[in-house]
Amino acid sequence: MIKTNGEIIEHQCIAKHIFLLSLRYPESNLIVEPGQFVQLSCPGKHTTLLKRPFSVFDASPNIVSIVYKVVGKGTTNLSEKRVGDSLEMILPCGNPFSIPQEGGLNVLIGGGLGIAPLHFLTKYYPKPPFEFWYGTSYEEEWIPANLLQRSGIDLHIHADFSTSNHHSLQFPENLLQKYQKESTTSPTKIYCCGPTKLMQNVTKHCMEKNIPIEVSLESRMACGFGICLGCSFLTKDGMKTVCKDGPTFDGSNVIWESLT
Amino acid sequence: MNCNPLQTTLQSPRHSIQLKNPIVPASGTFGNGSIVHSLYDINQLGAVLTKSITVEPRSGNPSPRIYETPSGLLNSVGLENKGLPWFLEEVQPFLLSLETSKWVSIAGFTIEEFETLAHVMDTLPIDALEVNVSCPNIHANGVQFCQNMAVLEETLRRVRKATHHFLIAKIALETNPLSQALDIIEQENFDAVCIGNTIRGIAIDAETRKPFFHKIFAGLSGPAIKPIALRVVWEAYDSHPTLPIIGCGGIQCASDVIEFLAAGATSVEVGTLNLVDPFILPRLIQDLETYCCTHQIDLPNTIGSAHHSLR
């Protein structure tokens, strides 16, 4: 984990209030793996103190990309940054996903911006077969499929916008239901990231079916590297921090009620 | 140019501790040092101070625990830690392997717990014990130890009897009456005071119109509280000029450290900014050295210099 400055080399709005941001940094020997995150300073017109944690959407030597939604002061500041601007960042933070099994079928279930680390998983490990299920609450917040798709991925895009305001009131429950109903495959492992309710439901499904499940949790954080305990929660192995012990966890080990 | 060393001494009538420099991490913002030691050599710090340890393991408060404010941070961690046996087993070996001043923070929920912790720590070759009589996140009948003068006096007396270590009383910035609390700290043969801890605040969720934190109250830290911490350090130095003061509250840069020293602190603790930038402490030490060289000042003469300037 290092502190460095990243220069914005790409910053585009890809859906309503959702941006793709890529930063280039000088250190070429840094290894960033799927599931890890970056702590990014978000200076601007709104006063902020803490860095903000973002899952890595993609990375290559010297470059890291994130996808974020404008939800508060920090991300509002971030959305106003331009190509060429520089941001202080700390990376890589947290533990990556375990390596997907080659030859087995790895099912990825992502809700909303939970697709970010799952997308990176498919890029980082090109060989294992993946089946990618993606859903979100709002039609206007769809990440364009061309950003997610790569050859070899079976991408199932789920939508149910029959309700008013293009809002799928049943999300995230219906994403899992759709998967359960339509998937004909037998996964060797399921990776899930998204709303807590989605991850909890998918974990329950996996435990019933005896399928290994790995989740990537989200939490409010201060430090992002395990010293403030601002993101501690209860697991079957005692208290763990999302930032340092995770954010990737065996879903069956999480006491979901301790997460809010 | 004559560059002065950053060495500083916390000197009481009974003890003295010499520090390489006045920069110490505040308890609870540095873990127990091992994570940060993997990022840089923490032996360069003036001292290493552990997270507050309690007798029993504590799972802390439910989430959410963190709320950012303009220039500050509200936290409701609730003294999460794995308890005294774990500390002795897991933390002690690492702490004792360090080659800088080794400080341990203790927190009790009863006077007896403080006494027990002090007694156990007395057997360890550490350099100082910080007695956290101020944490606002815990419930001791709703009153902090430092806010009830009779309780404070009894607590400090029994801790002092339980250990020969250099003792630091960590008090709240809201301690009232401050002068009386400082009298007690001196009278009970404590060696220094740390001013201070977080300030009690609350956050309300405007969407739900409910308190943001389950425990309603949380502790505010960071640059937002620096002027208040400086004021309390000023008042403490004014009324108790021979009691070593460790200033703590919102320090972000070398000039902030100088401000605390000029107000009367002998050393400082840096808290919230460790969470913003894990590499801040070595930079502060370096910048402080540069500041002293550039301004041709030394630290001993800086302590309380803002008071002296008025004479």
What DSSP assignment string belongs to A117-140? HHHHHHHH--SS-EEEEEE-SBGG
Given B3, B135, B146, B292, which residue is catalytic?
B135
Q: Which of A48, A88, A260 sits opposite B63 (nearest CB)?
A: A260
Residue ranges of chain A whose CB lies within 8 Å of a chain B CB? 1, 3, 47-51, 88, 90, 219-223, 225-234, 239, 244, 258-260
Residue type, B302: T
Q: In this predicted structure, what is the pLDDT of residue A142?
A: 81
User: A94 and A218 in contact (C-beta within 8 Å)?
Assistant: no
| Cβ of residue B282 closer than 8 Å to a chain A Cβ | no
Residue A158's pLDDT band, with cuts at 50, 70 and 90, is low
d(CA B257, CA A182): 63
pLDDT digits (tens, 9 = 90+) for B189-228: 999 999 999 999 999 999 999 999 999 999 999 999 999 9
Cross-chain residue pair B77–A230, CB shorter than 8 Å: yes
d(CA A3, CA B278): 8
With beta carbons under 8 A apart, name residues in chain A contacting B276: 49-51
Cross-chain residue pair B278–A231, CB shorter than 8 Å: no
User: B129 and B118 in contact (C-beta within 8 Å)?
Assistant: yes
Cross-chain residue pair A231–B75, CB shorter than 8 Å: no
Determine the distance in angstroms separating the CA of A187 from the nearest CA of chain B, rounded to an integer: 33
Percent of chain B with pLDDT over 70: 96
Q: In what order do the strands lie in the sheet with B101-106?
A: B23-25, B267-270, B245-248, B192-195, B166-171, B128-132, B101-106, B47-49
Could you give the 3-state DSSP secondary structure of residue A155?
strand
Q: What are phi and psi of A127, to 5 degrees?
A: -85, -45
Cross-chain residue pair A50–B35, CB shorter than 8 Å: no
**Domain boundaries along the sequence of chain B:** 8-61+78-200+222-308
Residue A127's pLDDT band, with cuts at 50, 70 and 90, is confident
Cross-chain residue pair B68–A225, CB shorter than 8 Å: no
User: A226 and A233 in contact (C-beta within 8 Å)?
Assistant: no
Active site residue B248: no
Overall size of chain B counted in residues: 311
Determine the distance in angstroms separating the CA of B59 from the nearest CA of chain A, rounded to an integer: 7
Question: By C-alpha distance, which of B244, B131, B250, B235 is closest to B174?
Answer: B235
Question: Which chain B residue lies closest to A239 (C-alpha atoms)?
Answer: B59
Predicted confidence (pLDDT) at residue B180 exceeds the cutoff of 80: yes
Q: Which of B35, B68, B72 sits opposite A227 (nearest CB)?
A: B35
* Residue A22 CA: distances (Å) to CA of A92, B91, B277, B297: 15, 40, 21, 45
| Cβ of residue B110 closer than 8 Å to a chain A Cβ | no
Cross-chain residue pair B68–A50, CB shorter than 8 Å: yes
Name the H helices within chain B: 34-37, 84-86, 92-97, 111-121, 149-162, 178-187, 226-239, 254-263, 272-276, 280-295, 299-302, 305-308
ipTM, two decimals, is 0.92
Question: By C-alpha distance, which of B65, B46, B27 is closest to B284?
Answer: B46
Q: Is B294 exposed, middle or buried (0-12, 13-18, 19+ CB in 10 A)?
A: exposed
Q: In this predicted structure, what is the pLDDT of residue A166?
A: 45
With beta carbons under 8 A apart, name residues in chain A contacting B274: 223, 227
Chain-centroid distance, C-alpha A92:
14
With beta carbons under 8 A apart, name residues in chain A contacting B59: 232, 234, 239
With beta carbons under 8 A apart, name residues in chain B contacting A233: 63
Question: Which chain B residue lies closest to A258 (C-alpha atoms)?
Answer: B62
Which letter, b or e, does each residue of B100-131 get, where b requires 16 or more Cβ atoms within 10 Å of its Cβ? bbbbbbbbbbebebbbbbbebbeebebbbbbb
Task: Pick B141 or B136 by higher pLDDT.
Answer: B141
Determine the distance in angstroms separating the CA of B212 from the nearest CA of chain A, rounded to an integer: 12
Mean pLDDT (chain A, rounded): 89
d(CA B80, CA B57): 8
With beta carbons under 8 A apart, name residues in chain A contacting B64: 220, 260
Cross-chain residue pair B272–A223, CB shorter than 8 Å: no
Cross-chain residue pair B60–A229, CB shorter than 8 Å: yes
Q: Which of B66, B67, B71 sits opposite A47 (nearest CB)?
A: B71
| Cβ of residue B86 closer than 8 Å to a chain A Cβ | no
pLDDT digits (tens, 9 = 90+) for A221-239: 999 999 999 999 999 999 9
Chain-centroid distance, C-alpha B2:
31
pLDDT digits (tens, 9 = 90+) for B260-310: 999 999 999 999 999 999 999 999 999 999 999 999 998 999 999 999 988
Predicted confidence (pLDDT) at residue A119 exceeds the cutoff of 60: yes
d(CA A48, CA A70): 14
Predicted confidence (pLDDT) at residue B109 exceeds the cutoff of 80: yes
With beta carbons under 8 A apart, name residues in chain B contacting A90: 278
Q: Write down the CATH number for the domain with range B8-61+78-200+222-308.
A: 3.20.20.70
Q: Which domains does chain A carry? A: 2-93 (2.40.30.10), 106-216 (3.40.50.80)
pLDDT digits (tens, 9 = 90+) for A22-39: 999 999 899 999 999 999
Determine the distance in angstroms separating the CA of B302 from the nearest CA of chain A, rounded to an integer: 29
Mean pLDDT (chain B, rounded): 94
Task: Pick B139 or B192 by higher pLDDT.
Answer: B192
